[in-house]
Structure formats: C-alpha cells, structure tokens
Amino acid sequence: MNTEVCEITCIVCPTGCKVRVVREGSKVIEVSGNTCKRGETYASQEAVAPQRTLTTSVKVTEGDFALVSVKSATLVPKARLFDLMKAVQKLWVAAPIRIGDIVVHDVLGLGIDLVATRTVRKTGE
C-alpha cells in the first residue's frame, strides 16, 4: 500500500508544533516534529480520523443564566460536529445545573455526553 505524508499543525497547546505524520491507509507509521507525547497522540489521530472537543451552550429555563455552557465529555468525530450542534440547538434544560453535571446523555446515539461547564442556579435561589 502507498504511504501518505500529512503535515499537521498540532492544536494541543499554544506552541503549535508542525508535526509530520507518515501513514499507510489508516495505519500510522511515523510521527515527527512533535515536542511532546500528547502531540504524537493528537497528530496520529488527526491524520487518520480527526476529532474535536465540542463546546457550545444549551438554553436554560428558570436559571440565573439564560444558557448553560457545555462541552463534549469525549472527543467528537469532526464530521459530526454540525449534526451535534443541530441537535443541541433544539434543547432546553431546567435549572438548577451544577458544573460537571451531564446535561445531555448520548447525543445522537454517538455515545457522547454533554457536560455542564458552569453552575446555573434556579432564579431566586
């Protein structure tokens, strides 16, 4: 099988290393240019099947904030980000919500939970 070279800018930290990944189909053969282990993991994944953490917000009823900010508890396949957003935009959740609470279980059956990244109190509490 032919090998393919991917030039990837690492987004794990602000350093932004230029990482070179050599792959054969979905098999990573060589990673170079990274300056840490996390960069290697990221670039290997990115070359084969890109994933991102999704952060967005969900509308809240009766909260001291109009929205609760959320993040995906696990990485989301990049190609599914917009599907997830469409599903999340329709949602309403009721206050109170505590930071770390799972706001939505298993969105779209992808096995991904959305976790609150802020506490929203019930109005008047």
Partner 1 sequence: MKTEYDLIVIGGGPAGLAAATAAYDQGLRDILIVERDRFLGGILNQCIHTGFGLQEFREELTGPEYAQRFVDKTLEDGIPFFLDTMVLAVRPDRTIVAISPELGRLELHAKAIVLSMGCRERTRAAIMVPGTRPAGVMTAGTAQRYMNVEGYLPGRNIVILGSGDIGLIMARRFTLEGARVNAVLEIMPYSTGLTRNIVQCLDDYGIPLLLNHTVTSVHGGKRVTGVSVAQVDDHRRPVPGTEREIACDTLITSVGLVPENELSKIAGVQLDPITGGAVVNQRLQTSVPGIFACGNVLQVHDLVDNVSEESQRAGRSAALYVQDKLPQTLRNIRVVPSPGIHYVVPQCVDVTEQTETIKLFMRPSDVFKGAFVELRTDSREEPLARFRRSRLTPGEMVVLTVQGTVFAAVEADISVGVKVS
Chain residues binding partner 1 by CB under 8 A are: 9-14, 16, 52-57, 59, 65-67, 69, 71, 78, 81-82, 85, 89, 99, 117-119
Q: How far is the CB of 1 from partner 1 (least distance, A)?
A: 27
Q: Which residues pair with 70 in a beta bridge?
A: 56, 116
Residue 118's nearest CA partner among 101, 94, 93 is 101
Q: How far is the CB of 21 from partner 1 (least distance, A)?
A: 15
Nearer to partner 1, 2 or 89 (CB): 89
Residues contacting 94, CB < 8 A, separation 6+:
60, 61, 62, 63
| 10 within 8 A of 41, measured Cβ to Cβ | no
Residue 112's nearest CA partner among 68, 70, 57, 73 is 73
Q: How far is the CB of 42 from partner 1 (least distance, A)?
A: 10
Nearer to partner 1, 5 or 79 (CB): 79
Q: How far is the CB of 70 from partner 1 (least distance, A)?
A: 8
Structure token pair of residue 101: 């609470």
Nearer to partner 1, 71 or 122 (CB): 71
